[in-house]
């Protein structure tokens, strides 16, 4: 039973992406182009990603990527393929007709196609919007258009620079950007003659997806923190509008600051002892949660004193300072212990909801 739970959790945590493959051979060595595309397809299949593709000509990158994915299959798992339409007449027969599929790519699982109305470029645009990342290989004007549209939509894309075509130009333009993002050197411009070429291309796509997700998470965390401060500030301002710096609000402020210190302590422990790399979005989100919990526990602790006939407004400055130090310790405990525990509970609930949706 425990093993089954671990397997389910691992499956949920590993994000399986929809990767749009677009491109064709443009004056590049045919044998190297096909072998490189097959290597990419094999790596995509082993990583468990879904391939979004169209076209089936001998010069289309998609054709050889699917060949590679098909050769990597096992009997218990098939790589999912999502075709998209419309296509140039006659170029998508193998992706839309069952006899062609069973004859060449029997090891792949073909899902319902992305259907649109309009010319070829519209189909690519729809496929791009519904995919997580675009993988550009060789190609001409249409491949360049996909890269330009991805840039406009802030959708991640990765251009393979070593196989010529429009993708080579896009890759040269993106070199500095990818290095600035922190992409590993082996992923920035992998060479087809490298045995890890396919894996490096797939890892580069995964890196770009993570980078986008982290950027989105950072934005959401900042918004959450601002809303938390606004709501807590409004609540405290209303409750203590007659005396914002009285004994009780001062103790609550102290608890909240202690919670912030506890968050920092928690991330330092994780970084030094568990060798974890702190992410800014996680720090900001944890601060927001800890501030809320710190104020909540501050209210609880302060009002629990009423059971002992504690009159906060009667305490002198020295007594308030002494109580404030203890409240700060409460806040540190909330930030360092209760905050991460609450975050883990929320994540587990999210995973459970995801599994239920599946």
Residue 83: strand, helix, or coil: strand
**Comparison of pLDDT for 130 and 4, the residue scoring more:** 130
Q: How do residues 252-291 score in pLDDT, each as one tens digit? A: 888 888 887 877 777 777 767 766 666 666 777 777 777 7
What residues does each domain of the chain span?
2-211, 240-357
Specify burial of residue 142 (Cβ count, 10 A radius: 0-12, 13-18, 19+): middle
Q: Give the helix/strand (H/E) hosting 120.
A: helix 120-130
Residue 323 has pLDDT above 80, yes or no: no
* 51, β-bridge pairs: 19, 81
For all residues of the chain together, what is the average pLDDT?
Answer: 78
Residues composing the chain: 358
Q: How far is CA 314 from the centre of its chain?
A: 52
Closest to 313 (Cα-Cα) out of 358, 250, 264: 250
Confidence of residue 100 (pLDDT cuts 50, 70, 90): low
Q: How do residues 6-22 score in pLDDT, each as one tens digit? A: 433 343 335 688 999 99
Q: In this predicted structure, what is the pLDDT of residue 38?
A: 95
Does pTM surpass 0.95?
no
Residue 217 has pLDDT above 70, yes or no: no
Both tokens assigned to 269: 């422990």
Q: How do residues 144-201 score in pLDDT, each as one tens digit? A: 999 999 989 889 999 999 999 999 999 999 998 888 888 888 898 899 988 899 999 9
CATH architecture of 2-211: 3-Layer(aba) Sandwich (3.40)
**Comparison of pLDDT for 311 and 170, the residue scoring more:** 170
- Alpha carbons 114 and 221: distance in angstroms, whole number: 33
Q: Say if residues 140 and 166 touch (Cβ distance below 8 Å).
A: yes
DSSP structure string for 177-238: HHHHHT--HHHHS--TTSTTHHHHHHHHHHHHHHHHHHHHHHHHHHHHHHHHHHHHHHHHHH
In angstroms, what CA-CA distances link 55 with 22, 24, 37, 191, 307? 9, 10, 14, 25, 75
């Amino acid at each position: 039973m425990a093993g089954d739970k671990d397997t389910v959790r691992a499956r949920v945590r590993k994000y399986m992406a929809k990767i749009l493959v677009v491109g064709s051979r443009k004056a590049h060595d045919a044998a190297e182009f096909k072998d490189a595309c097959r290597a990419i397809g094999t790596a995509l299949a082993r990583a468990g990603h879904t391939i979004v593709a169209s076209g089936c000509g001998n010069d289309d990158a998609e054709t050889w990527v699917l060949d590679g994915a098909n050769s990597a299959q096992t009997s218990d798992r098939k790589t999912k393929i999502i075709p998209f339409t419309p296509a140039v007449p006659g170029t998508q027969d193998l992706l839309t007709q069952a006899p062609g599929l069973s004859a060449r790519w029997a090891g792949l699982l073909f899902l319902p196609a992305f259907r649109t109305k309009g010319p070829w470029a519209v189909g690519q645009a729809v496929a791009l919007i519904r995919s997580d990342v675009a993988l550009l290989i060789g190609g001409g004007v249409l491949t360049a258009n996909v890269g330009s549209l991805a840039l406009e939509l802030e959708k991640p894309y990765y251009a393979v620079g070593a196989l010529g075509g429009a993708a080579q130009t896009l890759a040269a333009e993106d070199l500095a950007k990818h290095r600035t993002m922190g992409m590993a050197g082996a992923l920035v411009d992998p060479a087809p003659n490298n045995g890890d070429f396919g894996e490096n291309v797939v890892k580069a796509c995964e890196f770009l997806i993570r980078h986008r997700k982290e950027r989105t998470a950072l934005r959401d965390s900042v918004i959450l923190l601002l809303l938390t401060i606004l709501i807590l500030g409004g609540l405290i301002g209303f409750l203590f509008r007659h005396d914002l710096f009285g004994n009780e609000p001062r103790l609550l402020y102290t608890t909240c600051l202690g919670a912030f210190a506890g968050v920092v302590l928690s991330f330092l422990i994780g970084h030094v002892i568990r060798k974890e790399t702190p992410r800014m979005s996680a720090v900001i989100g944890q601060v927001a949660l800890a501030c809320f919990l710190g104020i909540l526990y501050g209210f609880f602790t302060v009002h629990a004193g009423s059971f002992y006939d504690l009159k906060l407004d009667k305490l002198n400055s020295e007594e308030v300072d002494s109580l404030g130090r203890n409240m700060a310790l409460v806040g540190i405990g909330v930030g360092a212990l209760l905050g991460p525990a609450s975050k883990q509970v929320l994540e587990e609930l999210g995973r459970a909801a995801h599994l239920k949706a599946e």
